[in-house]
Structure 1
Amino acid sequence: MRSQPNILFIQVDQMAAAALRPYGGQVVRAPHIDALAGRGAVFEAAYCNSPICAPSRFSMMTGRLPTSIGAYDNASELPAATPTFAHLLAHAGYRTILAGKMHFIGPDQLHGFAERLTTDIYPADFAWTPNWAAGPRDKPSGISMVNVLQAGPCVRSLQMDYDDEVEHLAVQRLYDLAREPGRKPFFLAVSFSHPHPPYTAGQPWWDRYEHDAIDMPTVAAIPVEQRDIHSQWLHVSHGADVQPVSDEQVRNARHAYYANISYIDDKVGRLLRTLADCGMEDDTIVVFTSDHGEMLGERGMFYKQTFFEPSARVPLIVRHPEVGGASRIATPVSLIDLLPTLMDWTGGARDWPEPLDGASWQPLMQGSTPERRVLCEYTDMGVIAPARMIRTGTHKYIHTHGHPPQLYDLQADPHELTDLAGRPETAQLEAQLAHAVLEGWDADAVLADVLASQRRRLYLRDAARLIEPRPSWDYQASRDDSRRFVRAHGAAGAKALARFPFVAPPA
């Protein structure tokens, strides 16, 4: 393997780890992801650092916890002055390429990437700014239970349009990289929007499953009055109080969700086959993960935005050509660990200008078992107070500012049905975790800053709607076809040079 390995980073959107066979799922058919797990390290307790898209991705790219960089919600700007792993990799001599979603908000739509092959699927402005002053029913993105009510097969969808384009351009870029003489090592991020709702799946993938074989949620719906305050807020925010769903609609949603995982798995397979066909497999680290999970009807809840395992836990599979074969790692990790891991893999740690909240996965992949803790935060729509979770050892502790905490033993109670907070027998542990979850985090200050940030951005959002033409930060992808095909200038030998592997002309 070359001294600086290539890195293929595959990220999906809203994939619950437990649905996949490497994590115990029994229904989903994803043979390419299964095969990747069979040759790599499966992190059994990997978490996002915020169970919502943009804050999760911003924290992952910067190695910082979301509130430390003001990544409060899906309309928070990621400032151009914030270093990301793409800047790190540029310093390390890498060619950095992004295909697909990264949910950048603000005028900087590259954040260190040298190339961006596609636009994003969601808006880059302040349109989705939440307003906690309006209560939990405020939902600027329009999320509702309609996705569950209308779940089923389809011929085509906006997300299929998007992900097919992401796949095509990413595969083409791998071919181009293979044919590029003397190229730099590359970091190619391929980020798909599936299996994120709506729960609509193409018929070929829907038909891979027998409808009656689709399993129902493991944990039945919990009466709303018995839920924690965070879950009660989400019940209102998602409109579940006014749009109840039937068991058959839940099964339809789960069927479509599983079908969409199979749809994504086909794309993962094609990326991996292209890597192998181009002779780059032995020089390339492959990382597969998601930005957060999906409740998918568990506890009577859908979507994300909560710290329960289906929402906060993510799949994380790493295939490293020089670090053994299949292995399973039980130590808790999170997505903010990606940046320090890249430092280890690429030698790019020199002169990094910011503190880091994560730690490299590399020692764990080499057999070390240090004590680790994971922090996860939530400050987006659906809640009206900042919330934070800590996972350490086998326990999870949840702090919702101004409300009772929650404590779960995930080894004894993997479905989080028994809240141990307030019990005499766990008082000492609870006190320790209550201290740890708030260490270096002032909830009152976070609350004040979130509210102030929302007021500013709501004012700017409304002003933008009055400006003609309306300003736009959305990335517009473009390509130069004159470099790709035969043209009058410099056309000689273009077809021969595009053949891979190259065959020299006869003497």
Structure 2
Amino acid sequence: MNHKRNLLIVLAHGLRSDALSDEREWPLPTPHLVDLAERGVRLVLSSASPADPGGMTSVLTGLHARQHGQLRDDEQPQPLRDGLPAWLADAGYHTVGVGEVGAFASLLDESLVTEGVANPEPKPNRCWYTAAARSRGHAPALAQQRRQRLRSGPLAPDRLMLEPEEDIDGFIAAQAAEALGRMPEDKPWAMFVVFSGPGNELPPPMYYDGLVEGADLAKGFVPAKFEQLDALVEPELPRSVLQRLEPHQVARIRADYLGRVSLIDHGVGRFNEALSKRKDADRTWTVLTSDRGQLLGEHGLIGHRSFLAPSIEVPLIVTPPDAPGVSPPKEKFQDGLFSVVDVAPTIAHLGGADHPESVAGRSVLPIFNAEPVLPVPPANLSEFHDRLLVETERHKAVFRTGDRKCLGLFDLLEDPEEKVNLIHDNTATTRKLVLQMRLHLSGVLMPLRG
């Protein structure tokens, strides 16, 4: 008889931690995501890289970006040769992937692959979503929508009259819910569901388009001041476009993003319903996280290649089954520094799987027993292109990787919105703080050099 835990692993691309309604940041209910959080442990993680696909690679491998080498947005995803899917397979799991799982499909027993929206016309034999769209006659319109996305990002998207299951994330949710009913009952299984959004910069389908609206969505918007942000941002849209960004455009971009969050929340509800019909629901754990966040007009910016909090703060939810004999967590949250590199070792721990010593993260499961998560890192590390972030609980510093020049320094306690770059204050206090952050950086990097 199988006594191992089954694992439902949901990876939502570009999901900000504050998009969940338990943070009360946005006028959007996310009941299914909040239900998972209330029944489990909920943490805020720092992305190891706000560039694609580096952040997702870190989630799946437990490695920092400099360890796996994917630091730029324009890099093609490299097939994973090792990582969480392989560790679980070695531990006896039947592994299945649905959605954007192409980079690690070779490590899975079964996969239903959809290609990312950066490819306007995926081949039907490589993308189940494209094949379904062709059969419905939607493929040309979807290809045009993706081309328009490449031209203008989220500013002027093509809005298609799609039913929810005709949208890429609605399609992924429907296929995953169906696949849950086919999982084996005589051996442990792990299903990876990788959504395209909400960070794919596409408008949501019908019923979710305009779900949240109103002038209040543009609250707090101010135009970009690039002389203060060069240290933290690599803009994805031309600066001239960002400087002309208006509040009503920001409100629409935020509404589209939140509509996609709601679509994924509904998908999680479908997964819960499918699991409730299974005989092994009482030993099935759910893990939900993301690779990076998304800027939605904060500091006048749109995109994700940034070390600002909305770009790098993502949720991690680890939820046990609601079943007799399964103890709820003794602690639901723990202060401290957590990173997406902690995701893979946490899931490996859940599944009783071994992982390589090179893994940079650690399991957060001790929180379930109200124990500290060890070892405690000196700081969090995030990296993309030629910039590197080191973040403690109080301060954030950005260094240029070539010469280790400090480009940005922020006091997160006194300045939580990161508006004042202290590096411009050439005082003894600032110089001392830069030195301290360099020491923290050395403490993080030293173990990675082996």
- Specify the TM-score bucket, using the shorter chain as the normaliser: 0.7 to 0.9
- Say if 1:398 and 1:407, in contact at 8 Å, map to a contact too: yes
- Root mean square deviation of aligned Cα: 3.0
Q: C-alpha offsets along residues 180-200 of structure 1, whole Å, 9 cap, x if unaligned?
A: 452x11110111112124341
The CA deviation at 1:427 is 3.8
Residue equivalent to 2:262: 262
Checking the alignment, whether the CA contact within 8 Å between 2:8 and 2:286 is kept in structure 1 is: yes
Q: 1:168 to 1:285 in 2, by over 3 A?
A: same
The one-letter code matched in structure 1 to 2:291 is: D
User: C-alpha separation between the residues in 1 aligned to 2:106 and 2:427?
Assistant: 47
Native 8 Å contact 1:286 1:319 kept in 2: yes
| Structure 2 CA distance for aligned equivalents of residues 393 and 271 of structure 1 | 35
Larger of the two Rg values belongs to structure: 1
* 1:113 counterpart letter in structure 2: L
Structure-2 change in CA distance of 1:397 and 1:159 (3 Å): farther
Matched, 1:208 2:211: yes
Residue aligning to 2:129: none
Equivalent residue, structure 1, for 2:48: 49
What are the superposed Cα offsets for residues 342-366 of structure 1, whole Å, 9 maximum, x if unpaired?
33212222xx445111111112333
* Counterpart position of 1:98: 97
Structure 1: how far apart are the matches of 2:163 and 2:237? 22
Q: Distance in 2 between matches of 1:194 and 1:216?
A: 21
Aligned position for 2:336: 331
Percent identity of equivalent pairs: 25
Structure 2 counterpart of 1:169, from 162, 166, 175: 175
Structure 1 Cα separation of the partners of residues 372 and 224 of structure 2 = 37
Are 2:187 and 1:187 equivalent residues in the alignment? no
Paired residue total = 407
Match of 1:60 in 2: 59
Amino acid across the alignment from 2:274 = T
CA contact (8 A) 1:199 1:253 kept: no
Pairing 1:223-302 to 2, within 5 Å after superposition: 223-231=225-233, 234-235=234-235, 237-242=236-241, 244-302=244-302
CA distance in 2, matches of 1:12, 1:293: 10
In the alignment, structure 2 segments of 5+ residues that lack a partner are 123-146
Deviations 1:69-104 (A, max 9, x none): 222334245355x42111110111111111011462
Matched, 1:433 2:437: yes
Contact 1:54 1:102 in 2 (8 A): no
Q: 3-state DSSP class of the match of 1:257?
A: helix
Which one of 354, 361, 366 corresponds to residue 363 of structure 1? 366
Report if aligned partners of 1:151, 1:252 keep a CA contact under 8 Å in 2.
no
Check conservation: 2:382, 2:390, Cα contact below 8 A.
Answer: yes
What SS does structure 2 have at the residue aligned with 1:149?
coil
Cα separation, partners in 2 of 1:330 and 1:219, compared to 1, 3 Å:
farther
Q: Residues of 2 paired with 1:36 and 1:342: CA distance? A: 16
Residue type of the alignment partner of 1:339:
A
Question: Deviation digits for residues 382-409 of structure 1, max 9, x if unmatched?
Answer: xxxx111122223222212345432223
Normalising by the residue count of structure 2, what TM-score does the alignment of the two structures yield? Answer: 0.81
Partner Cα distance (2:395, 2:369) in 1: 25
Q: Is the 8 A contact 1:389 1:397 kept in 2?
A: yes
2:105 aligns with one of 93, 102, 110: 110
Work out the CA distance in 2 between the residues paired with 1:146 and 1:157.
Answer: 24
Aligned with 1:331: secondary structure?
A: coil
> Is contact 2:342–2:361 with CA below 8 Å preserved after alignment?
yes
Give me the whole-angstrom Cα distance separating, in 1, the residues matched to 2:30 and 2:165.
19
Evaluate the alpha carbon distance shift between residue 162 and residue 197 of structure 1 in structure 2; reply closer, same or farther with a 3 A threshold.
Answer: closer
Structure 1 runs not aligned, ≥5 long: 128-140, 380-385, 446-507
